[in-house]
Amino acid sequence: MSAPPQTPPFKVLWLQSGGCGGCSMSLLCADTTDFYGLLRRAGIELLWHPALSLESGGELTALLADIVEGRLALDALCIEGALLRGPRGSGRFHMLAGSGLPMIEWTRRLAAKARHLVAVGSCAAWGGVTAGGGNPTDASGLQYEDDQPGGLLGADFRASGGLPVINIAGCPTHPNWVIDTLTALAAGLFTAADLDAFARPRFYADQLVHHGCTRNEYYEFKASAEKPSDLGCLMEHMGCKGTQVHADCNIRLWNGEGSCTRGGYACVACTEPGFQEPDHPFHETPKVAGIPIGLPTDMPKAWFVVLASLSKSATPRRVKQNAVADHLAVPPVARRTRLK
């Protein structure tokens, strides 16, 4: 009796464009002792990655040529880093070494062959930090420039699998956002319905950073931190945008333990288009008449003002004192009670 035919592996190519490489560094912190084994069990074959593969130079360009000329199938093209279109649209600010072609040209050619296209990180998704300031390199995302559709490939681009560019936004991305996306694609379980309005995977983008934040009791009473080491809510004074930002950072913890807010840092909205230029210092909350400009998602300003006033007036002494301390100064009172 012959063995049943094996499903061919889901072939992934990972290229690095204009960026810091932080998403690759984050990927290597995936919660596993056997990274390649994790991919193999999901049926994924990593054709090449700049930090994980031994092949270089002519070996890589030969691999790319095989894909472009149709000799090798490509299931997912992952691009990390912004696409550098300058100077004057030539792309020559970033040449793929030894190939004589700019990275943007390789990206276009490979995108035409890939079944799925994945932007890994906010630079590849929207331009990110690489496109900040005066943007002298004319950096953009694959299919967005900040929150405007377009980018290198254009708003109408669809990969041969039928999906637009999948934007795994973050600076850097959580390793499991990447692994889970590729695993779902390999299993044929990822559809257009799994993408939000900015083509981010909904399994993490349907959450807010606020969800699961350990500072939520302070937020509820509007008991706010006044300096970086304080335990209180970071929204009112310290620039935290966690109530507005789409990510599950406080549910799907980094390295199984942490998040920005758990480490004492305000959420700077790194999964959102345009986060790199908020027009104010990251550690400060802009206000008008004492009211933060950036209010929680879906909350009218009048409601927030009323609720904040009521909350502050009802703040327990314990919460008020702990909010401006760098340790738990006043523990919850232990009282005899009957549990029912």
41-69 tens-digit pLDDT: 999 999 999 999 999 999 999 999 999 99
- Average pLDDT of the segment spanning 96-125: 97
Q: How far apart are CA 81 and CA 20, in angstroms?
A: 7
What fold does the segment set 10-204 form as a domain?
Rossmann fold (3.40.50)
Q: How far apart are CA 225 and CA 229, in angstroms?
A: 8
Backbone angles phi, psi at 78, to 5 degrees: -100, 125
Label residue 53 exposed, middle or buried (CB < 10 Å: 0-12, 13-18, 19+). middle
Q: Tell me which of 4.10.480.10, 2.102.10.10, 1.10.10.10, 3.90.930.12 is the CATH number of domain 207-326.
A: 4.10.480.10
- Average pLDDT of the segment spanning 273-289: 90
pLDDT at 339 over 70: no
Out of 81-90, 134-143, 311-320, least confident range: 311-320
- Average pLDDT of the segment spanning 122-131: 97
218-237 tens-digit pLDDT: 999 999 999 999 999 999 99
Q: How far apart are CA 59 and CA 9, in angstroms?
A: 21
Determine the 3-state secondary structure of 257 from DSSP: coil
Which amino acid would we find at residue 19?
A: G
Residue carrying structure tokens 């959420």 = 267
pLDDT at 207 over 80: yes
- Average pLDDT of the segment spanning 277-298: 85
Percent of the chain with pLDDT over 90: 80
What predicted TM-score, i.e. pTM, was given to this entire model?
0.93
Query: In CATH terms, are 10-204 and 207-326 the same topology?
Result: no
Residue ranges per domain, the chain? 10-204, 207-326
Angle among Cα 261, 16, 143 to the nearest 5 degrees reads: 80
* Residue 176 vs residue 308, higher pLDDT: 176
Q: Check: CB of residue 323 under 8 Å from CB of residue 231.
A: yes
Q: Check: CB of residue 75 under 8 Å from CB of residue 10.
A: yes
Q: Which of 245, 258, 265 is nearest to 204 (CA)?
A: 245
pLDDT at 303: 75
b/e code 124-136 from CB counts within 10 Å (16+ = b): bbbbbbbbeeebe
Which 8-state DSSP code applies to residue 58? H
* Residue 274 vs residue 334, higher pLDDT: 274
Q: How far apart are CA 103 and CA 84, in angstroms?
A: 8
Q: How far apart are CA 235 and CA 116, in angstroms?
A: 38
- Confidence label for 146 from pLDDT (cuts 50, 70 and 90): very high
Q: Check: CB of residue 275 under 8 Å from CB of residue 171.
A: yes
Q: Is the dihedral of CA 30, 34, 39, 42 positive or negative?
A: negative
Q: How far apart are CA 270 and CA 256, in angstroms?
A: 20
- Confidence label for 290 from pLDDT (cuts 50, 70 and 90): confident
